């Protein structure tokens, strides 16, 4: 939809954007609807259960589970920013989003992405202290340190998102309004502006790409340091450390893989780009909940306890 601008200039301003979506095939759309809906509901339930379990079980009131609960909260946001709109649009012929809705979606995507990066770094630091400095764990990972990590995560996410939007919110959009995607993807959004955006595209891509790659390498280096430190003192401890870190490394690869491809790859394939974005929005939050739950005996026991309490409460009521 186009509307006349207030200044009376000889062009029109875009008030909404049209998504091309994932596919035109009704068979594939039905399959995507079934898969996306299932994983979305499972992700919301799984991450909500993790938060409920950590907050209600005194045995899990420790720094590691505090960070895990916050990661699950962020994963609820990851699932909710783009997935409901994508699922709703699958069977709609005219897939549209308002200009404000598009800006809002971009804002929350980058806030959540920034927060999750810092939380993953905080969780890596927590594992480093727990494995390499176990006698000082509670002193270093004090409640104050946990709150510091949480505040730093949200400040980083908000700052990153505001910087991104500061580049694009005043761009002129005067005609093209079709996005070959199922959500407001910032690089494609910028290309629709009625001005030369090559420098801006580079700045935005470099911003997100630098943060993604930088955070990824910080995490990988921290895991390597942990492994070498443990190996130096005990060969038996190495297998235990690898078992503990495997879940964290898997989550890191699942989170950063699609991000690095989208923002660092010179000319990503549109179809692969869509698949990775869908994977990041629908599957990753679900897999995070599964990985951290099924590889943690303490969490599984606590979840059974909480589920049993919920069933008993329902019977009584």
pTM confidence score: 0.86
| Arithmetic mean of pLDDT, 197-224 | 84
| pLDDT for the residue 148 | 96
Distances (CA, A) of 307 to 201, 278, 295: 48, 30, 18
| Torsion angles phi and psi, residue 98, rounded to 5 | -70, 160
Residue 317 has what pLDDT?
62
> Is the pLDDT higher at 17 or at 276?
17
Q: Please classify residue 257 by burial: count the beta carbons closer than 10 Å to its beta carbon, then call 0-12 exposed, 13-18 middle and 19+ buried.
A: middle
Yes or no: say if 301 and 57 are a contact pair by the CB < 8 Å rule: no
Classify strands 16-19 and 178-179 as parallel, antiparallel or unpaired. Answer: parallel
Would you say residue 280 has pLDDT above 90? no
Instruction: Classify strands 16-19 and 2-3 as parallel, antiparallel or unpaired.
Output: unpaired
pLDDT of residue 247 exceeding 90, the answer is: no
Contact 281, 81 (CB under 8 A): yes
Give the pLDDT confidence of 5-50 residue by residue, as tens digits: 434 433 447 788 888 888 878 888 889 899 999 999 999 999 999 9
Q: What is the pLDDT of residues 139-195, one digit of tens each?
A: 999 999 999 999 999 999 999 899 888 878 788 888 788 888 888 888 888 888 888
Q: How far apart are CA 151 and CA 254, in angstroms?
A: 24
Q: Taking 80 as the threshold, does the pLDDT of residue 273 lie above it?
A: no
**112 vs 8, residue with greater confidence:** 112
Average confidence (pLDDT) over 234-239 = 66
> Can you tell me the distance from the alpha carbon of 152 to that of 204, in angstroms, rounded to the nearest whole number?
22
pLDDT at 3 over 60: no
């Amino acid at each position: 939809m186009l509307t006349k601008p207030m200044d009376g200039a000889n062009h029109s301003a875009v008030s909404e954007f049209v998504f091309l979506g994932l596919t035109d095939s009704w068979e594939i759309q039905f399959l995507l609807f079934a898969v996306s809906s299932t994983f979305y509901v499972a992700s919301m339930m799984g991450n909500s259960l993790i938060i409920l379990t950590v907050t209600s079980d005194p045995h899990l009131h420790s720094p590691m589970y505090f960070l895990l609960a916050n990661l699950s909260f962020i994963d609820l946001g990851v699932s909710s920013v783009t997935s409901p709109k994508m699922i709703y649009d699958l069977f709609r012929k005219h897939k549209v989003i308002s200009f404000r809705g598009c800006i809002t979606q971009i804002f929350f995507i980058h806030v959540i992405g920034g927060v999750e990066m810092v939380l993953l770094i905080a969780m890596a630091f927590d594992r480093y202290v727990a494995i390499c400095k176990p006698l000082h764990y509670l002193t270093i990972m004090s409640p104050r340190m946990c709150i510091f990590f949480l505040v730093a995560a949200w400040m980083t996410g908000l700052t990153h998102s505001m910087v991104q939007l500061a580049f694009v919110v005043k761009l002129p959009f005067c005609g093209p309004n079709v996005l070959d995607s199922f959500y407001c993807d910032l690089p494609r959004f910028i290309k629709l502006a009625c001005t030369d955006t090559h420098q801006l595209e580079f700045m935005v891509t470099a911003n997100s790409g630098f943060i993604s790659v930088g955070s990824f390498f910080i995490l990988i280096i921290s895991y390597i340091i942990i492994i070498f430190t443990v190996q130096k003192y005990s060969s038996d401890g190495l297998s235990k450390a690898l078992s503990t870190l495997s879940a964290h490394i898997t989550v890191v690869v699942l989170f950063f893989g699609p991000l690095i491809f989208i923002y660092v790859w010179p000319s990503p394939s549109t179809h692969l780009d869509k698949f990775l974005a869908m994977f990041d929005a629908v599957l990753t939050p679900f897999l995070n909940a599964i990985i951290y739950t099924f590889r943690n005996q303490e969490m599984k026991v606590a979840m059974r306890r909480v589920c049993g309490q919920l069933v008993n409460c329902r019977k009584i009521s």
